[in-house]
Structure 1
C-alpha cells in the first residue's frame, strides 16, 4: 500500500507541474477542469495496471531460478538483515499509526463539514426559486451552493443588480456540478492527507470553478462593476469548507483572468502535449524491468552432442510433473518451475565437511536437456570448492527426464544454467550448526496442518499449525534469500494453533517464503505468500 500511494503521489506531482507550467494561465476553463479531474483518476488507476513483459536481451540465454541451500535446505539465503534483529512478536508500526491518525482527523473534519451543512439546513427556510432549492438561513454568511441547494443568509443584503450577479454566479456552480468535484477532492484528501500535491489540486480545481462561474456572470454584465463587487465582499463574512462560495481566495487571479483575452488556437497544442506525457508515464509504470544483458553468444552452440544445442527455443523444455494438470502457457511454466524447485530442495544437502570448514558460495552448473528430454553433459561454469561443486553436480545428475523443448515443431536440445548458492546461517536464534552424515538427505517436515494467510496478504500474516509436539522455528524470507524475521515456537504442545506470525507492513509488495523448521531434526516445510 505504501508503494502504491507513493507512486500515485509521483504521478500527480508530474501532472500538476505540467498544469502549472502550461495550462494554469489559459482560458479553456472546461478543459482545465477536465484535465485536473482526469489526471487524478489516471494517477489512481495507473499503478494498479499489470506490468507488461520487458523485451528480452539481444542475446538471450536461459538461466533457471537460483537455488539457495542452507542448513535447512531452504530456498532462501540464511543471512540476517543488517539492523533488523529478529523479534519474537510483531511490533507497533508507528508509520501506520501516524497515517491512520492523520486520516482519522481529516475524515472527522470532512464529516464535521457535512454535519454543519445539515444543521444549517434544518434550521432554515427552504423554498423553490430560480429552479433550485433556496435555503434561507438565519445566520450571517456569504452565499454558497451545495448540490442543488443555494444557501442565502437573511442578513446578507445587496442591491438588485448585485443580487442578480451573485445569483447567476451561484447558479453556475450548481448547473455545472461543481459539488461533485469538491466531494471527490475531499475524499482523496482524507486518504492522501499527508501529500501536499492533493491540496494543490484542490486549490487549482476550486479556482477553475470560480473562473467558470465568473464567465457566466460576465456574459450579462460588465467586468468593472463585477470586479468591484468581488472586492467589496471578499472579506465580508465566513465561508463553508465543503461549499462553492462566491468570494473565496485567489481574488487577484480571478480579476486578472477576467481581463485576459480568450486563449488562441495555439493554446490547444499545450493540451495535446499531455498525451505523450501520459504515454511516458504509462510506459514507465507498467513495464517490467528488463533482465540483465548477458555476454554475447550465438543462438545455438555446438557441443559433444551430434545435434545443435539451442539456448532459447519457441517452446522451452519443462520439468515433469505438470502434464496432467490441465494448465497451459505461463501457468504451465510456473507449475514446472515449482516442481523443479521442490525436487531440488528435497534432495540438496550441505556436505558435512563443507559445514565444518565454513565453505559457502555460488556454484553454476551448465547442462543440456536433449531432444529426448534426458539431462546430459552437466559441467561446472563457476566453481567454489570441490565439496560444493560435487553436490551441485550430483543433484543435476539425479534429475529425471524433462519434456523436451521444440523449435519449428521438432524436438531440439536446449542448454540451461543452474545457479546453486550455498550459504551458512549467521547466528540465527535457536539455530545450531549440526553436521550431517554424507548420506543424510534433507526431508520435508510432515505436519497435519501448516497454512499461512491471508494469501495474498496485507500488513499482517497469520499461521495455522497442527504438528507433532516439539520445538519449532518460523522464518520469513524474501526471494533474494534474506532472513527478514524469525519467531521461535518452543515447547509446542501439538494442539492446533492459530497465531499472528509476522508483521509485513514494513516490507514492500512482493513474494515471500515462510518456513516452519523442526529444531530437533532440521526438517522443514515452506509456504509461499504474496504481499500486496
Structure 2
C-alpha cells in the first residue's frame, strides 16, 4: 500500500544514524545569534507587540474585566518574544517540498544534517559581529538592574521588625518606607493617621496584592522586558500591568472591608487623601497604596458601566493575523513561484502526477563513510562566494536532490535561500547547488522488497560570517 510520509531524516533511513561532524547544523534557539536574524526578529516582535498594545490601549483598557486584562498584559510580550522564532524554526527545518514530475516511486529521505561554511577574512569589527553582542549586553544589563533593585529593597527592609500573620508577613516601617507590598511582605507605615476602618481598608488592599501573586507577575514581566529591551513597546507594559493590579486590589478591598469603608466614594476619598500626603521615597518593585496611579483608580472605582466582554474575543482574529504576517515575513526569502505558462505551454499535455512516496521497510541507503564523510565532502566543495561576503549575507540554503536506483545524484534544486540582494543570493544558491551535485561518493540506494528505489533528500548548507 502506498502511503505519504512526513519529511524526516529517519523516515527511509531508519538505521542511518546522526554521526558527529566538524560543523553540525544549527538548531533552533529562543534568541537569534546573527545580525540578519536579530534584526528580522526584532522587527517582527515589535510589530506583534505593537498590535497587541494598540488592542489593549484603545479597546480593553477601560473595561472592568481585570483578570483578562492582567493575563493579556502578562502573556502578549512572551507571544511577541517566541512567535517569530517558532515560526522561523518551523519554516526553516520543515521546508515545503513541491511535487516532483519524475515518474517512478521515490522514497522520502527527508532532512539530513548540513555543513556550515564560514567566510574567512571578514572585517573583525563589522556590524554583523557587534549587533548581537550589543543586544546580549543590554539583556545582561537589564537583568543586573533588576537584581540590584531587589537587593536594594532587601537591604532597606532587613532590619525592620516583622510580624508573621496568616498568609503574609507584616513589616513595620516606622515611617521610613510607605505602605506597600512585595511578595509575602506587607510594608506597613504605622505613622500614617488612619482610623481603624481606614486601616482595615488599606491593609485589605495590600493583602489582595499578596494573595493574587502580583509581585511574581511583575518579575516575570521584567524578565521578558529585559529580553525584548530594544523593542520600545515592551516598556509600556509594566505600568499598564501595575494599573490593572491596583484595580484588582481595590475591588477585593471593597468586597472584604467593613461597610464603613466599603462604599466606592468613601474608599476613593481615602485614596485621594493619602495620595496628597507629603512626598515619600519610592520603593522599587512594590505595590504602593498611596503612589499608584491614583486618578485612574478613582475613575475606575466610580465608573458604573458594565464590562463589554465581546471585546475579549478580538484577540483571536488579531493572533491569527499576526501568525499569518510572521509566516509571510519568513517566507519572503524563499524562491519566487514559477512564471505562469504561456499559451503554447498551456496547450501541452499536463505532466504526470507526482510519484508516490513509500515507507521504507528494508535496507536503508547510505553515503560511503557515513554522514560524517558526507559533511566533509560537501565542505570540500564549498567556498564562501565573494559577492555574499561583500553584501554581508549569511543564512541557510536548502538543497533537495534525488539519489536514483544506481546511487547517483539527480534533480538537485534549491528549495529555500536567505533573502538579500539578487547577486549575493544567487551566488549562495549556486555554490550550495554545485557542492551537492559534485559529491564524489556514490550512494547506496534504498532497497524496498529487494529492489533499489530512488530516494529524495534535503541538505541545509549554512553560510556564516565570522
Aligned residues: 353
Query: Which residue does 1:41 correspond to in 2?
Result: 78
Indicate whether 1:51 and 2:90 are aligned. Answer: yes
User: Structure 1 residue 309: deviation in Å?
Assistant: 8.6
Query: Which residue does 2:336 correspond to in 1?
Result: 292
User: Structure 1 residue 116: deviation in Å?
Assistant: 2.9
Q: Of Structure 1 and Structure 2, which has the larger fraction of its residues in helix? A: 2
Query: Which residue does 2:61 correspond to in 1?
Result: 24
Distance in 1 (alpha carbons) for counterparts of 2:228 and 2:155: 28
- CA-to-aligned-CA distance 1:355-380 (integer Å, 9 cap, x gap): xxxxxxxxxxxx99976667899xxx
Alpha carbons 2:150, 2:285 under 8 Å: kept: yes
Query: Which residue does 2:293 correspond to in 1?
Result: 250
Alpha carbons 1:313, 1:405 under 8 Å: kept: no
User: Structure 1 residue 192: deviation in Å?
Assistant: 3.5
Unpaired segments ≥5 residues, structure 2: 1-31, 33-37, 104-115, 359-364, 384-400, 412-432
Distance in 2 (alpha carbons) for counterparts of 1:169 and 1:368: 69
Change (3 A) 1:511 1:268: farther
The one of 214, 222, 239 equivalent to 2:263 is 222
Unpaired segments ≥5 residues, structure 1: 63-74, 303-307, 326-331, 347-366, 378-391, 416-477, 480-509, 515-532
Query: Which residue does 2:15 correspond to in 1?
Result: none
Distance in 2 (alpha carbons) for counterparts of 1:374 and 1:154: 85
User: Structure 1 residue 313: deviation in Å?
Assistant: 6.2
User: Structure 1 residue 175: deviation in Å?
Assistant: 0.8
Q: How do residues 206-285 of structure 1 correspond to structure 2 at under 5 angstroms?
A: 206-219=242-255, 220=257, 221-236=262-277, 237-238=279-280, 239-261=282-304, 263-264=306-307, 267-285=308-326
Distance in 1 (alpha carbons) for counterparts of 2:200 and 2:322: 46
3-state SS in 2 of match to 1:145: strand
Scaled by the length of structure 2, the TM-score of the pair is 0.60
3-state SS in 2 of match to 1:138: coil
User: Structure 1 residue 273: deviation in Å?
Assistant: 2.1
Distance in 1 (alpha carbons) for counterparts of 2:339 and 2:77: 43
RMSD: 5.0
Query: Which residue does 2:239 correspond to in 1?
Result: 203
User: Structure 1 residue 121: deviation in Å?
Assistant: 2.2
Distance in 1 (alpha carbons) for counterparts of 2:438 and 2:156: 82
Indicate whether 1:512 and 2:464 are aligned. Answer: yes
Distance in 2 (alpha carbons) for counterparts of 1:252 and 1:25: 13
Q: Of Structure 1 and Structure 2, which has the larger fraction of its residues in strand? A: 1
Alpha carbons 2:205, 2:253 under 8 Å: kept: yes
Alpha carbons 1:61, 1:294 under 8 Å: kept: no
Alpha carbons 1:313, 1:414 under 8 Å: kept: no
Distance in 2 (alpha carbons) for counterparts of 1:410 and 1:229: 87
Change (3 A) 1:118 1:97: same
Q: Which has the higher contact order (CA 8 A, sep 6+)?
A: 2
